[in-house]
Amino acid sequence: MKKFLLALGLTLIASVAAAANPQVVLDTAKGQITVELYPDAAPASVANFLRYVKEKHYDGTIFHRVVKDFVVQGGGYDPKMSERPTNAPVKNEAEHAFKAGLKNDRGTLAMARTNDPDSATSQFYFNLKNNDFLNYPGRDNYGYTVFGRVIKGMDVVDAISAVPVLPGDFPATPVLIKSVRVEGAAAGK
């Protein structure tokens, strides 16, 4: 009985610890994607993403860049390709996230940025394969910050990655992000 109670207690502790990470649902034209965010590994990036979610910034945006066998990127443009205004950029956390075990592997969620390592604002991408060259230190001694992972709906990400694209990796038919919301206990925070 003691062993059972100990095992049950450890299971409950593990469940509570896992539940502590915020989960976000992206409702897209292709289906739903649920991601788990990792604030311990990338606190500024997670806080930044959640701020945009709570401000409903992502609602009505599109996946504007689809590169087969690489990434699906969104979070910055509406269907008319008008760029949404953004908050101040966040500091690159790729080194911290990498040392915490997060890599640009298939199914992970990361911050998109320009050549300036500290330029990430609202845009994010899903890795379609392991993209080791994007990890810290990367080609530029900074890398790209991974801050989450798809826990449900990778088939939806794959469906988005399969859409026909125009020159510039823009989907021929825009893939809409209808809404993005925080799930569970973290929703009230």
User: Of 136, 91, 97, whose CA–CA distance to 117 is shortest?
Assistant: 91
User: Residue 120 has what pLDDT?
Assistant: 98
For 152-163, the pLDDT digits (tens) are: 999 999 999 999
pLDDT, one tens digit per residue, over 113-137 is 999 999 999 999 999 999 999 999 9
- With 50 as the cut, is the pLDDT of residue 103 above it? yes
Of how many residues is the chain composed? Answer: 189
> Which residue has better confidence, 189 or 66?
66
| Count of H-run helices and E-run strands, the chain | 4, 10
**Residue 96 confidence (pLDDT) above 60:** yes
pLDDT at 12 over 70: no
Confidence of residue 183 (pLDDT cuts 50, 70, 90): very high
Q: What is the mean pLDDT of residues 64-72?
A: 97
Structure tokens at 157: 């990400």
Q: Is the pLDDT of residue 10 over 80?
A: no
How far is it, in rounded angstroms, from Cα 22 to Cα 185?
8
Q: How far is CA 147 from CA 39, 136, 175, in A?
A: 7, 13, 23
